[in-house]
Amino acid sequence: MGLPVTVYRYTDAGAPQIVSGTPTEWINVLKKVLVEGYGAKSPLGWTLEFEDVGVRSVAFRNATTEGGSGGYVKFYSIDGSNTVYKALGMKCAMGMTDIDTYFKPLWARGFTPSSNHKGWEVIGTKRGFYLILHYTANLLMGLSGYGSDTQVYFIGDIHSANINDTCPFTIVSATANTSDNTSSSGITDYSGTALAAQMYAVDGSNTSIMYTFSKGYAYKNSSGYDGSAESLGINHLMIQVQIYGAPSQNNSPQLPFGRGGVPGLYMSSFAGYRTESWPKELIQDTVKWALLRSYSSPQFWISLGDWYD
């Protein structure tokens, strides 16, 4: 049985707001969404494990109930300051014993707010979630020509193809660097054609590799496609984004070529909607879907039905 999905948005009643864009404000948003709740909304069900207020650093753990791995993610100001629009690092690990000590750590990634990123969205479950920064100078679904893209990251357990996977926890971005890299590079970024997720071996051994896998093409078409599938009489064919690697490095049961899927993330056969406004949702085959904003013609959707079925 899958896990139900909850959507949190800065437009919700009682939602915490980004006013000046400091790390403290972003950490407050994450604490409200993941642990505390706000307004009439209950929290996602993660736990706050460690915090160092002085250097703007906080670590959360996913729920070990209902199949969760108990993986950790730390969010932190990259230089410890509370400067406006300071980049925040995101470092995942299979375990932590304090705010700076990791067991099976992953390479750090990051997101960079700007004066035009006053919006946020979190879509997820007790095991994994999407963190989405919204460009708020306008709310067009396609952001070509506006100098900034929506930043989207998945953090948590993948939907593993191996039921005995002991290390399903990761962060999915568009950065495949095998080193800490806190520059922004999200799922719908304009540059590059691949997504990446570092993962440890299925059996829990202390070996990891960087899985890199295709993210399609229409998201970066410079001319852009417009219109909606509904108005054109076109049905979406939704294909879940699969996590796979190179046969040369993925050739064992411990580090398999096909690791699984990114929970809830699907690429449609149709790309468009670039002049429509966020949020864009539709219902198809009884499932509700939310479209991710992107540089040109959005093509990625997040399923708002159950994950981990």
Residue 135 counted as domain residue: yes
- Residue 214: predicted pLDDT: 86
Run of H or E including 28: helix 23-31
**pLDDT mean over 189-195:** 80
Indicate the residue type of 77: S
Q: How many CB atoms lie within 10 A of CB 206?
A: 10
**pLDDT mean over 56-81:** 97
Rounded CA separation 306/1 (Å): 8
Q: Which two tokens stand for residue 109?
A: 């990634």
- Residue 147: predicted pLDDT: 57
Residue 147 counted as domain residue: yes
Rounded CA separation 85/88 (Å): 9
pLDDT interval class at 215 (50, 70, 90): confident
Instruction: Evaluate if residue 70 carries a pLDDT over 80.
Output: yes
Indicate the residue type of 211: Y
Residue 284 counted as domain residue: yes
Tens of pLDDT along 199-210? 999 999 999 999
Q: Which residues contact 187 (CB under 8 A, 6 or more apart)?
A: 152, 153, 154, 172, 173, 174, 195, 215, 265, 292, 300
- Residue 216: predicted pLDDT: 67
- DSSP letter at 25 equals H
Residue 248 counted as domain residue: yes
Cα–Cα nearest to 263, from 93, 84, 11, 69: 69
Residue 74 counted as domain residue: yes
| Averaged pLDDT score across all residues of the chain | 92
Rounded CA separation 4/126 (Å): 9
Rounded CA separation 289/285 (Å): 10
pLDDT interval class at 223 (50, 70, 90): low
The percent of residues above 90 in pLDDT, for the chain, comes to 79
Q: Are 264 and 295 in contact (CB under 8 A)?
A: no
- Residue 193: predicted pLDDT: 78
Q: Are 93 and 72 in contact (CB under 8 A)?
A: yes
Rounded CA separation 25/41 (Å): 19
Residue 309 counted as domain residue: no
Indicate the residue type of 8: Y
Residue 102 counted as domain residue: yes
Tens of pLDDT along 135-161? 999 999 988 766 556 799 999 999 999
Cα–Cα nearest to 89, from 67, 106, 104, 65: 106
**What SS3 class is residue 151?**
strand
Residue carrying structure tokens 């904003």: 293
Rounded CA separation 22/77 (Å): 9
Q: Which domain holds residue 244?
A: 6-303
- Residue 154: predicted pLDDT: 98
Instruction: Evaluate if residue 169 carries a pLDDT over 90.
Output: yes
- Residue 158: predicted pLDDT: 98
Who has greater pLDDT, 189 or 49?
49
Total domains present in the chain: 1
Q: Are 222 and 189 in contact (CB under 8 A)?
A: no
Instruction: Evaluate if residue 175 carries a pLDDT over 60.
Output: yes
Tens of pLDDT along 234-289? 999 999 999 998 777 667 889 999 999 999 999 999 989 989 999 999 999 899 99
Tens of pLDDT along 10-64? 999 999 999 999 999 999 999 999 999 999 999 999 999 999 999 999 999 999 9
- Residue 220: predicted pLDDT: 57
Is the entire prediction scored with pTM above 0.85? yes
Q: Which two tokens stand for residue 105?
A: 């750590």
Residue 308 counted as domain residue: no
